Amino acid sequence: MMKGRWLRGLVLGLMPLVPEAMSAPVPARLDPDGVQRLEVVGGSYFFRPDHIVVKAGVPVELTVSREPGLVPHSLVIWSPRMGIDVEVTLNSLGRVIRFTPESTGQTPFYCREKLLFFAGHRARGMAGIMEVVE
Ligand SMILES: [Cu+2]
């Protein structure tokens, strides 16, 4: 019994280190002004949604905010091939990030924060995939 409990405690203790499963892909909505818009929320330690889909060659406005809390969070999307270089600190009001993906494919997005010797937020599951389609 004691051994089982210890094992369960160990498994629960390790769980935050394992990234959560991806959510279903969420496509941006194309507004009448020709801009595709999408909202993403970050928190400890996730992005919601964590799988987003945008179209290549069409301007994107990504509104990204953070859930209330003391832990700082950020958003990084970096793909020279797609012409995207985003690195922002998140706040609760939300900030708008603008870019136009130049090519199709997939690129990760993640939080760059890390506290001392603890696992970085990205390793703890604060990451997602941006898919760029035709
Ligand atoms: Cu973070």
How far, in Å, is the centroid of ligand 1 from the Cα of 10?
24
How far, in Å, is the centroid of ligand 1 from the Cα of 32?
33
How far, in Å, is the centroid of ligand 1 from the Cα of 71?
7
Position 107 scores a pLDDT of 97
How far, in Å, is the centroid of ligand 1 from the Cα of 114?
8
| Structural element, H or E, at residue 129 | strand 127-133
Q: Alpha carbon of 45 to those of 38, 65, 87, 109: distances in Å?
A: 20, 13, 17, 13
Q: What is the mean pLDDT of residues 2-16?
A: 51
Position 18 scores a pLDDT of 47
How far, in Å, is the centroid of ligand 1 from the Cα of 124?
9
Domain holding 97, by residue range, is 2-133
How far, in Å, is the centroid of ligand 1 from the Cα of 76?
10
Position 116 scores a pLDDT of 87
Query: What's the pLDDT band for 7 if we cut at 50, 70, 90?
Result: low
Phi-psi group of 116: left, alpha or beta (phi > 0 → left; psi -120 to 50 → alpha; rest → beta): left
60-84 residue pLDDT tens: 999 999 999 999 999 999 999 999 9
> How many angstroms separate the CA atoms of 29 and 93, rounded?
21
For the beta carbon of residue 27, count every other beta carbon within 10 angstroms: 13
How far, in Å, is the centroid of ligand 1 from the Cα of 16?
13
How far, in Å, is the centroid of ligand 1 from the Cα of 78?
16
90-134 residue pLDDT tens: 999 999 999 999 999 999 999 999 988 888 999 999 999 999 999
Half-sphere exposure at residue 11, Cβ-oriented, CA atoms within 13 angstroms: 6
Q: Domain count of the chain?
A: 1
As a dihedral over the C-alpha atoms of residue 10, residue 15, residue 17, residue 18, rounded to 10 degrees, the angle is 130
CATH of the domain at 19: 2.60.40.420
